[in-house]
Amino acid sequence: MIPFRKKKKSFPVKVCSLDSQLEFNLEYNATGGELFDLVCRTFGLREEWYFGLQYEDTRGNVCWLKKEKKVIDQNIIKESCVFMFYAKYFPENVQEELIQEITQHLFFLQIKQAILSMEYYCPPEASVLLASYYVQAKYGDYDELNGVDLLNEDLLPQRVIDQYSMTPEMWLQRIKTWYADHKQMSRDEAEMEYLKIAQDLDMFGVNYFPIKNKKNSELWLGITALGLNIYEKENKLQPRTVFQWSEIKNISFDDKKFTIKPIDKAAPNFIFYSTKLRMNKLILDLCIGNHELFMRRRKPDTIEIQQMKAQAKEEKQRRQIERNKLSKEKQLREQAERDKSLLEARLIGMQEEMRNAQLALRRSEEAAELLEQKNRLAEEEALLLNRKAMDVEQEIARLKNYALKTEEEKIHLERKSREAETLTARMAEESQKKATEAERLKNELINARIAEKEAKEKLLTFLSRATLSSPSPQLSNLSVPIHQLITHDGILSISSQSLEDPEQMYEDALELNSYDLAENDISDISLEIEKERIEYLAKSKQVQSQLKGLRSEIELLKISESEFDRINAEQLRLGENKYSTLKKAIKSSTRHKVAFYEEL
């Protein structure tokens, strides 16, 4: 009998990131490191040193899962074991240090949440710019006609919305203004631009803890990638002094007392007191992790990081080549659509001209027919007048013969003769007028027939010219024999079958504008990468100018401001920023920094 292997006990765990959720059945003896590696493999994440698993223990305290200990032994809530996959440590320079696209994406989501939840202070004008990059990353290129409904999107911190007398539509209009400038920017590029702007925020990558010095002054300790920042209670934006990791030799704590030994032997120890005992291990853990990353950055890259950077560079070049290809295809498609629209417009114009020409021809024919009828009537009237004139002449002859009979009759006949002559002259004059009118109408008929002939010749010439002067292969598809253009009822009938298939036009355009991607494309990309920093500096100046303009524009609509707003406004007035403040706080010696700290 084959013995059955005993099934290992497991328990369910849930791991949530900001855009996904994972569920695992974890063995009871699994360590935090095994769970963390499982999550990283699932995400395809190799830059795992920035991240950690955060959870809430049975006392409601926020903790980071320890990799070396068993998960089940870390005071977790076993009934609902939920971990948050967050960035625990932050880079000094996001563009140079974040290699993988998934790493950039996870940082992007976390920083965006921190800004929108108002964990980080972000000036209003920078909030608008960041929102435009977020929309570009999520929805792609701006399209006014087929735009998405952004009013329901969570784009700005509520603090920014509340402190200005502006409607959502007014905010959205300013976001769209910048959104339209990000055309052809891919998702990863938009997310990186977002991070490059966000890392200039004073609170970026700072973990704050309340502390006290020997004078019992309430201060803030800020743990960052560069070192330890000390802030006054009311000002979490500008550190009063900074202890870089390169100045620190050892960190230890005893109860609530933290002792930091500087490398400078002439400098006294830097001592502070935490307000809560449970925070001590977390403070020490963040200090150790940030110090290790600080030292690692200043050493040559490991083989693994070199491979990752090489792969990321190749992937970036590949994506750039694909983007160039897609861009060319898009341009060809747009050109084909424009040609199609142009041809359709020209076809409509030709049809309209043809209808006008046919209408003019029909009018000429009708005028000619009317003139012919008038001419016929005039000829008939002239014949009738001639006949009457002959009858009158016969009557005169008869009267003259009869007048010979008697004098009285003669006199009478003379009088009658004079009257008849007068009538004859008048009728002859009318006959002459009718004959003249008939001749004029005859000439007009001849001219009308000549005009009709010229209109027909002009129509045939126009159709021949439209057929022979086709400007492009697409237009030649519209050509048909001239005799097919005139239907039985005289109305223009042109087949536009070639215009009904834009895909065929697009394929034709591709065949006519074929291209090769060879080494020249890669060299072009390399040149673009080399110019990237110069372009970024120029773009940065432009962005700063735009931010200044937006700040001035919305300043008139401000109805309230926070203490952080006043501090930020003072920084702008003095021309200072995050880096100039840090530079001032770092430049003094360690001994002076400790002395200054003790006096706070």
Q: Give a three-class secondary structure readout of 222-269.
A: EECCCEEEEEECCECCCCCEEEEHHHEEEEEEECCEEEEEECCCCCCC
Q: Let me know: does 286 contact 206? Beta carbons within 8 Å.
A: no
Q: Which residues contact 58 (CB under 8 A, 6 or more apart)?
A: 75, 76, 77
Find tokens 């995050």 and name the residue.
Answer: 578
Find tokens 């001590």 and name the residue.
Answer: 280
pLDDT above 70 covers what percent of the chain?
A: 84
Distance separating alpha carbons of residues 555 and 162, to the nearest angstrom: 14
pLDDT value of residue 90: 95
Q: Let me know: does 267 contact 256? Beta carbons within 8 Å.
A: no
How many residues are recorded in the chain?
A: 600
Mean pLDDT of 560-586: 84
> At 451, which amino acid appears?
A
Tokens found for residue 14: 């849930």
Mean pLDDT of 187-204: 93
Please tell me the least confidently modeled range out of 170-174, 380-384, 536-540.
Answer: 536-540
Find tokens 């600080």 and name the residue.
Answer: 294
Categorize the per-residue pLDDT at 5 as very low, low, confident or very high, splitting at 50, 70 and 90.
Answer: low
Annotated ligand binding at 67? The verdict is yes
162 CB neighbour count, 10 Å cutoff = 10
Mean pLDDT of 131-151: 80
pLDDT value of residue 291: 94
Mean pLDDT of 292-305: 90
Annotated ligand binding at 313? The verdict is no
SS3 for 270?
strand
DSSP letters for 68-90: SSBGGGS---GGG-EEEEEE-S-
Mean pLDDT of 561-586: 84
531 CB neighbour count, 10 Å cutoff = 10
241 CB neighbour count, 10 Å cutoff = 21
Beta-strand pair 10-16/82-87: parallel
Question: Which of 226, 199, 209 minimizes the C-alpha distance to 540?
Answer: 199
Query: Could you tell me where the beta strands, DSSP code E, fall in 345-399?
Result: none
Q: What angle do CA 525, 528, 530 make, to 5 degrees?
A: 115
Region of 162 (left: φ > 0; alpha: ψ -120 to 50; beta: rest) is alpha
pLDDT value of residue 124: 92
Mean pLDDT of 90-94: 94
Indicate the burial class of 483 (C-beta count within 10 angstroms; 0-12, 13-18, 19 or more). Answer: exposed
Per-residue pLDDT tens over the stretch 44-62: 999 999 999 999 888 888 8
474 or 557, which is more confident = 557
Indicate the burial class of 88 (C-beta count within 10 angstroms; 0-12, 13-18, 19 or more). Answer: middle
Say if residue 365's pLDDT is above 70: yes
Max CA-CA distance within the chain? 172
**Is-above-0.85 flag for pTM?**
no
Mean pLDDT of 485-499: 37
SS3 for 554?
helix
Mean pLDDT of 269-291: 91
Please tell me the least confidently modeled range out of 284-293, 442-451, 469-478.
Answer: 469-478
Distance separating alpha carbons of residues 346 and 349, to the nearest angstrom: 5
Q: Let me know: does 84 contact 16? Beta carbons within 8 Å.
A: yes
Find tokens 């001994």 and name the residue.
Answer: 591
pLDDT value of residue 93: 93
pLDDT value of residue 497: 39
Distance separating alpha carbons of residues 308 and 104, to the nearest angstrom: 14
Say if residue 325's pLDDT is above 90: no
pLDDT value of residue 437: 81
208 or 599, which is more confident = 208
Mean pLDDT of 425-433: 82
pLDDT value of residue 7: 58
Mean pLDDT of 395-399: 82
pLDDT value of residue 438: 76
Mean pLDDT of 335-347: 91
What is the side-by-side strand order in the sheet with 62-64?
A: 21-27, 10-16, 82-87, 51-56, 62-64
Annotated ligand binding at 531? The verdict is no
Say if residue 146's pLDDT is above 70: no
Between the CA of residue 59 and those of 62, 81, 283, 367, 426, what are the distances in Å? 9, 14, 18, 103, 132
pLDDT value of residue 507: 42
pLDDT value of residue 428: 78
Per-residue pLDDT tens over the stretch 432-471: 888 788 788 888 888 888 887 887 888 888 777 755 554 4
pLDDT value of residue 266: 87
Mean confidence (pLDDT) of the chain: 82
Tokens found for residue 260: 């930091």
Handedness of CA 372, 374, 377, 378 (dihedral sign): negative
